Structure 1
Amino acid sequence: MKIPANVLKWAMAASVPVAVAIVAPWEGKSNDPYRDIVGVRTVCYGETRVEMRRYTDAECLAMLNKAVAEFANQVLQCTPRLQYHPYQLAAAVSLAYNIGVGAYCRSTVDRLFDAGDLKGACDQFARWRMAGGMVVQGLVNRRKAETELCLTGL
């Protein structure tokens, strides 16, 4: 389903700032590359798709804004129903930013959103709480925050 350009522009304007606001504190920021909890080289706000070098604060923030917008576009391709649901879209973008778009698009979260069960989809966020085969308290906490955002306005 192709989303009309004016609707896409509105959806992005309504959801990307909210998604950035939730992604940034949960990802944390490191201007220098580091290995995340499962050993993946990461920099800035959890970015793995860039050159691993030191970045300035401004570069990290610009990178985050660009990445979140890209993830929002990709989430909308999987879940076009979210074009009119900015809080649910922002929560889905945060989830996809953390687990990857492919995993998001194959998830029960996506399937329930597609079926119109917004609350049911939001309730599924909590299932994504593991890294490296272990439950991670930080992910439990993040999913709780994403779920609360997702339930906003429902």
Structure 2
Amino acid sequence: MLSKRLVAASLAATVAIASAVVTHFEGLRTKAYLDPVGIPTVCFGHTSSAALGQVKTTTECQQLLEADLAVAINAVDSLVKVPLPVERRAALTSFVYNVGATKFASSTLLRMLNSGDVRGACAELDRWVYAGGMKLNGLVARRAEERQLCEVGL
């Protein structure tokens, strides 16, 4: 019984931290727009069902955020083979939310993490600051925040 409550608390903490990072860096835009590389995006960086011309309510955006965070957390949990403290799990969830599970799955970051090189894996976040071949200040700031979370306890 206690272990189930601890797992639930860990998940809730991960979601809370990752949500704070994602919403801060993505911002809320209820009208669909093209992101810096031309991908239709809406709400808090939602892309999978976004289309130009869409308008969402704040409630709809919150629901999309929760669903997208669940997908990202599931990807992290299925791909990472080493124990993760809440902060590192949240950092990786934010990262996967942004770059996608496919890129994470084939990344040096994941390979290093699963081999036990946590410090090296966290440092890899600094490399993920480009979109469409351009270094974006917003990604630099986001990755710095994610790296700080990733390194908690090291």
Give the equivalent residue in structure 2 for 1:78. 79
**Secondary structure of the structure 1 residue equivalent to 2:22:** helix
**1:11, 1:106 → 2: CA distance?**
26
> Which residues of structure 1 form unaligned runs of 5+?
none
Map 1:1-150; keep pairs closer than 5 Å.
9-52=8-51, 53-82=54-83, 84-150=84-150
* RMSD (Å) for aligned C-alpha atoms: 1.9
Match of 1:46, SS?
coil
8 Å CA contact 2:40–2:50 kept in 1: the answer is: no
Alignment deviations for residues 71-107 of structure 1 (CA, whole Å, 9 cap, x no partner): 101111111324x421111111111111111001111
SS in 2 for 1:146: helix
Work out the percentage of aligned pairs sharing the same amino acid.
Answer: 36
Counterpart Cα distance in 1 of 2:50 and 2:129? 28
* Deviation of 1:51 (Å): 4.7
C-alpha deviations, 1:102-151, integer Å up to 9, x for none?
A: 00111111111111222211111000010111111111111111111111
Paired amino acid for 1:115: S
Contact 2:18–2:93 (CA<8 Å) still a contact in 1?
yes
- Structure 1 residues 103 and 51: CA distance shift in structure 2, 3 A: closer
Please state how far the C-alpha of 1:16 moved relative to its aligned partner.
1.4
Distance 1:70 1:81 in 2: 19
5+ residue gaps, structure 2: none
Pair 1:92–1:106, CA change in 2 (3 A)? same
- Tell me if structure 2 keeps the 8 A contact 1:12–1:69: no
In the TM superposition, residue 14 of structure 1 has moved relative to its aligned partner by 2.8
Distance 1:123 1:78, change over 3 A: same
Residues 7 and 109 (structure 1 numbering): CA distance in 2 closer, same or farther, change over 3 Å?
farther
CA contact (8 A) 2:32 2:50 kept: no
Secondary structure class of the residue paired with 1:81 = coil
